[in-house]
Chain A
Amino acid sequence: MSNHLLEVNNLKTSFFIPAGEVKAVDDVSFTLDKGEVLGIVGESGSGKSVTAYSIMQILSKPGEIVGGSVKFDNQELVGMSEAQLRKIRGAKISIIFQDPMTSLNPVYTVGNQIDEAIKLHTNLKGDQVHKKTIEILTQVGVNDPEKRAKQYPFEFSGGMLQRVMIAMALVCEPDILIADEPTTALDVTIQAQIMELMRELQKKLGMSIILITHDLGVVADMCDKIQVMYAGKIVERGTAKEIFYNPKHEYTKGLLKSIPSTQNKKKLIPIQGNPIDLLNIPKGCAFSPRCEQCMKICLEQYPAVKVFSETQQASCWMNVFKELKGSGTVE
């Protein structure tokens, strides 16, 4: 028995395409406790969303979990029957997606879609369902909810739809909310509003959140802990403080350098190159072809996990190199 709400161990998810096996998530382990906010950061194609879909077991073909386990509340989700999973999806673990404009069914009213979630997971009937829908819409800040519930998704703005998505995800009071790039498709002022709303609801309802984003700025003031993903692997993890003030992986450092700042007019330094081709992962560190500090060993061997504190770990040869340099073994 573990005390963690969610425990992911050595999760491996692959996509089997004609060109070969794409290891989208490769040996990922982490835990999430009750009320905790975990940020998963990485660029496009690093396996963040696939990790989320693997937890929910909503991968679509040709994606497949090939190994590892996902334990929620000490129940194994990998290999669980669809009927049992349906009782967890939307009720215990909910997810909101990147693009609210396409994530709601265009031919049903917003109210109908929230009603559906309530009817699936509670015993409420008729008027009570409607009352609950209006209540949750009010809670996420939708004005005139009686009227809005009768409208179709195309009559809403993107920000309002994301509020609706959040309402739909939270209406059954789940233990975990997975937010898969919830603000990426929205404009900046709306992004701030949505993040504020999520923070507020998290305080009120006390659920755990897995916040997936490629924007370190978004996770900074919300997450208790952050893990950085690259090419399907977690390359560094730590508390928000450790990641921002004391990054230990070259990739994390690169990400931090590419955050624009309003205070000083320093030139933005992007990470060179493109995300790695997952069909052709280098033998050593997957980030090595783009890394400015790349050494010979980086190309040949995957760096072992180095533990810096109870919360911070990273897999980067530079740490080993610095240690050796410090002890005088190398110049």
Chain B
Amino acid sequence: MNKKMLNYILKRFLLALFTIWIVITITFFIMHAVPGGPFLSEKAASPETTAALQAKYGLDKPILEQYFNYLSGVIKFDFGPSLKYKGITVTELIVTGFKTSAFIGGIAALIAILIGVFLGSIAAVNHKTKLDQAIMFFSTAFVALPSFITASILLLVFCVKLQWFPANGLTTKGLILPIISLSLSPMSYITRLTRSSTLDVMGQDYIRTAKAKGVNYWVIIFKHSLRNALTPVITYIGPMLASVLTGSLVVEKIFTVAGIGKYFVSSIVNRDYMMIMGTTIFLTTIVIIMLFLTDIMYKIVNPRVDLE
């Protein structure tokens, strides 16, 4: 931690604020450009009721005024009330949902990284053997299968047939299957990345040097090779974390988990303006944080990286 590092973090922070502002602006105007509104439903309310509601949430004001009002709210970390769930603020909804999503997402990501890197290394050192082929077969399958299929299969096998787990995510035991279905795809992807970059690194001159020095086989793999092979994996881990931590609509629906994933879709369907803005800002922030951590990880793993 020196001055250069502090400068770098400050620069990244300012850049992040700028990015969030751009995202807010674009989302805000596109959202309002789409016809319809939060208070339109099949049961048409009387024009007076609608007008009263619009006035209550300030939706009758000119669009620019609404924009600046919203911005000044965001600066004070006030993301407004939900237009759909009455009496709850957007912040409360997101925080409650994120607690669950981040919990299962965090565990899923950890499993994906640890097992993925391990299986990838195993496949690489057993290159062209049956074990390698088996690992490659399953990882290709789980990368290719969409989550609603893997989740449904898990549900069918373990909840319905074997009855090992409850079919909802309301208890801790019930969270095991959602965690597995969340982790399968990134785990398989990490396996494939680790395998190919390990294969590449194992052919490098410095691996031969280590061998000639009398270094143990496993030390060669986990000390000399893995750290060099991790770069592409880290590149993937940043965006993957952002996506896994913010939940998945499909997995949450199938296993009845009270996570945040569903809001990303439902807020748009409901035209819940405040919620759309809230979830968008939230996702942007998470992605920015993860990308920042990714860059820091590069530096830790590879001393040649210069953070500038």
Point out residues on A near B: beta carbons under 8 Å.
56, 58, 60, 82, 85-91, 94-95, 97, 99, 102-108, 116-117, 120-121, 152, 154, 165, 168
Q: B204: nearest residue on chain A (CB-CB)?
A: A102
CB distance from B23 to the nearest CB of A (A): 36
Please state if B205 and A99 are interface contacts (CB–CB under 8 Å). Answer: yes
B215 at the interface (CB under 8 A from A): yes
B222 at the interface (CB under 8 A from A): no
CB distance from A128 to the nearest CB of B (A): 19
List, sorted by A's number, 30 A–B pairs whose CB atoms are closer than 8 Å.
A56-B212, A58-B208, A58-B212, A60-B208, A86-B215, A89-B212, A89-B213, A90-B212, A91-B214, A94-B212, A95-B212, A97-B205, A99-B205, A102-B206, A103-B205, A104-B209, A105-B228, A106-B206, A106-B228, A106-B302, A107-B301, A108-B224, A116-B213, A120-B213, A120-B214, A152-B303, A154-B303, A154-B304, A165-B209, A168-B213
CA distance A103 to B210 in the complex (A): 9
Please state if A90 and B208 are interface contacts (CB–CB under 8 Å). Answer: no
CA distance A85 to B215 in the complex (A): 10
Interface residues on B, range: 20 to 34
Given A104-B209, A120-B213, 17 extra CB contacts under 8 A: A58-B212, A85-B214, A89-B211, A102-B204, A102-B205, A103-B206, A104-B206, A105-B209, A106-B302, A106-B304, A107-B227, A107-B302, A107-B303, A116-B215, A120-B215, A165-B209, A168-B213
Please state if B228 and A107 are interface contacts (CB–CB under 8 Å). Answer: yes
Please state if A117 and B213 are interface contacts (CB–CB under 8 Å). Answer: yes
CB distance from A81 to the nearest CB of B (A): 12
Q: Which residues of chain A are near B46, meaning CB under 8 Å?
A: none
CA distance A58 to B204 in the complex (A): 13
CB distance from B282 to the nearest CB of A (A): 35
CA distance A103 to B204 in the complex (A): 8
Please state if B214 and A121 are interface contacts (CB–CB under 8 Å). Answer: yes
Q: Which residues of chain A are near B213, meaning CB under 8 Å?
A: 89-90, 94, 116-117, 120, 168
CA distance A116 to B210 in the complex (A): 9
CA distance A122 to B118 in the complex (A): 31
Q: Select the residue from B204, B208, B213, B304 with max chain A CB neighbours within 10 A.
A: B213
Please state if B217 and A82 are interface contacts (CB–CB under 8 Å). Answer: yes
CB distance from B233 to the nearest CB of A (A): 14
B216 at the interface (CB under 8 A from A): yes
List 5 tightest A-B contacts by C-beta distance, closest first. A90-B214, A89-B214, A90-B213, A102-B205, A86-B214
The residue that B209 contacts in the complex, of A87, A103, A107, A152, with Cβ under 8 A, is A103
CA distance A107 to B224 in the complex (A): 8
Q: A52: nearest residue on chain B (CB-CB)?
A: B212
Question: Chain B's interface: helix, strand, loop or mixed, by majority?
Answer: helix
Which residues in window 250-308 of B have CB below 8 A to A?
301-304
Q: Which residues of chain A are near B301, meaning CB under 8 Å?
A: 107
CA distance A105 to B204 in the complex (A): 9
CA distance A165 to B209 in the complex (A): 9
CB distance from A151 to the nearest CB of B (A): 9
CB distance from B267 to the nearest CB of A (A): 44
CA distance A121 to B205 in the complex (A): 22
CB distance from A10 to the nearest CB of B (A): 24
CA distance A85 to B212 in the complex (A): 10
Q: Which residues of chain A are near B303, meaning CB under 8 Å?
A: 106-107, 152, 154
Please state if B212 and A152 are interface contacts (CB–CB under 8 Å). Answer: no
CB distance from A149 to the nearest CB of B (A): 14
Q: Which residues of chain B are near A60, meaning CB under 8 Å?
A: 203, 208
CA distance A272 to B215 in the complex (A): 43
CA distance A233 to B107 in the complex (A): 59
Q: Which residues of chain B are near A117, meaning CB under 8 Å?
A: 213-214
B189-230 Cβ-contact flags toward A at 8 Å (1 or 0)? 000000000000001111011111111110000001001100
CA distance A94 to B304 in the complex (A): 28
CB distance from B229 to the nearest CB of A (A): 10
CB distance from B2 to the nearest CB of A (A): 16
Q: Which residues of chain A are near B210, meaning CB under 8 Å?
A: 105
CA distance A90 to B213 in the complex (A): 4
CA distance A117 to B205 in the complex (A): 17
CA distance A85 to B213 in the complex (A): 10
CA distance A91 to B213 in the complex (A): 8
Q: Select the residue from B215, B217, B301 with max chain A CB neighbours within 10 A.
A: B215
CB distance from B296 to the nearest CB of A (A): 16
Q: Select the residue from B209, B210, B216 with max chain A CB neighbours within 10 A.
A: B209
CA distance A327 to B72 in the complex (A): 110
CB distance from B199 to the nearest CB of A (A): 12
Q: Which residues of chain B are near A103, meaning CB under 8 Å?
A: 205-206, 208-209
CA distance A90 to B224 in the complex (A): 16
Please state if B211 and A58 are interface contacts (CB–CB under 8 Å). Answer: yes
Q: Which residues of chain B are near A91, meaning CB under 8 Å?
A: 214
Q: Which residues of chain A are near B204, meaning CB under 8 Å?
A: 102
Q: Which residues of chain B are near A90, meaning CB under 8 Å?
A: 212-214
B104-127 Cβ-contact flags toward A at 8 Å (1 or 0)? 000000000000000000000000
B3-17 Cβ-contact flags toward A at 8 Å (1 or 0)? 000000000000000
Q: Which residues of chain A are near B227, meaning CB under 8 Å?
A: 107
CA distance A89 to B217 in the complex (A): 13
Q: B304: nearest residue on chain A (CB-CB)?
A: A154
CA distance A105 to B209 in the complex (A): 9
Which residues in window 168-197 of B have CB below 8 A to A?
none
CA distance A85 to B228 in the complex (A): 26
* Contact flag A87-B208 (CB < 8 Å), given A105-B228, A106-B304, A154-B304: no
CA distance A264 to B272 in the complex (A): 90
CA distance A116 to B215 in the complex (A): 8
CB distance from A117 to the nearest CB of B (A): 5
